[in-house]
Amino acid sequence: EAIEKINTLKSNPECADIVWHYIGSIQRNKTRDIAEHFDWVQTLERDIIAKRLNDQRPDELPALNVLIQVNIDNEDSKSGCLPAELPALITAIKGYERLQLRGLMIIPAKADTDAFARTKALFDDIKASHPELNAWDTLSMGMSGDMAEAIDNGSTMVRVGTAIFGARD
């Protein structure tokens, strides 16, 4: 669905500056399309997917900006790596020249009142312990219903699709 829209809009000079973000579960058979058409991936959670995105990113495109999706509340129903898995995934991504690691993304549990604060602390700890991550600048937290709280806790990017487009079927 997105690729058709991207191709249509890229041919329009008025839309040439659109920055495309992929948000969603990433299946192995979709990595080539994502690597070729998107500017950002906000839901990277496994090394195998990172390697595929890196290997399939066309040389003529800039490095793909990626955020690691963290399952901050260890919910079975949510995607993302666990906080304890972050060091290994960060190390792997740092080795991929076609990926630019930019930060973290979370979707907290609805009942969690401190997930944003815990994620901000995790983000800051990673930044302090990895000074070589000079592009570590993005904390994608919050959606249409909780964006004010996310911003209050340090979010640099909120996802407001429902507020703009309405609920999806």
Looking at residue 18, which CATH number applies to its domain? 3.20.20.10
Within the chain, what is the greatest distance between any pair of CA atoms?
A: 45
Backbone angles phi, psi at 41, to 5 degrees: -125, 120
d(CA 134, CA 124): 13
Residue 146 structure tokens: 């909780």
Residue 115 located in a structural domain:
yes
Instruction: Examine residue 168 and state whether it is found in any structural domain, yes or no.
Output: no
Q: What is the DSSP string of 16-85?
A: TT---EE-S---GGGHHHHHHH-SEEEEE--HHHHHHHHHHS-TTSPPEEEEEEE-TT--TTS-SB-GGG
Asked whether residue 98 is assigned to any structural domain, the reply reads yes
Would you state the structure tokens that stand for residue 142, as one six-digit string?
A: 């919050």
**167 in a structural domain:** no
Tally the domains of the chain: 1
Residue 49: inside a domain: yes
Q: Quick check: is 130 in a domain?
A: yes
Domain membership flag for residue 157: yes
At 122, which helix (H) or strand (E)?
helix 115-129
C-alpha distances (whole Å) from 33 to each of 45, 68, 96, 112, 147 are 18, 19, 18, 34, 30
What parts of the chain have a pLDDT lower than 70? Answer: 112, 161-164
Q: What is the pTM of this model?
A: 0.92
Q: Print the domain residue range for 23.
A: 2-162
Query: For residue 16, what pLDDT is reported?
Result: 84
Reported as a single tens digit per residue, the pLDDT across 125-150 is 999 999 999 899 999 998 877 888 99
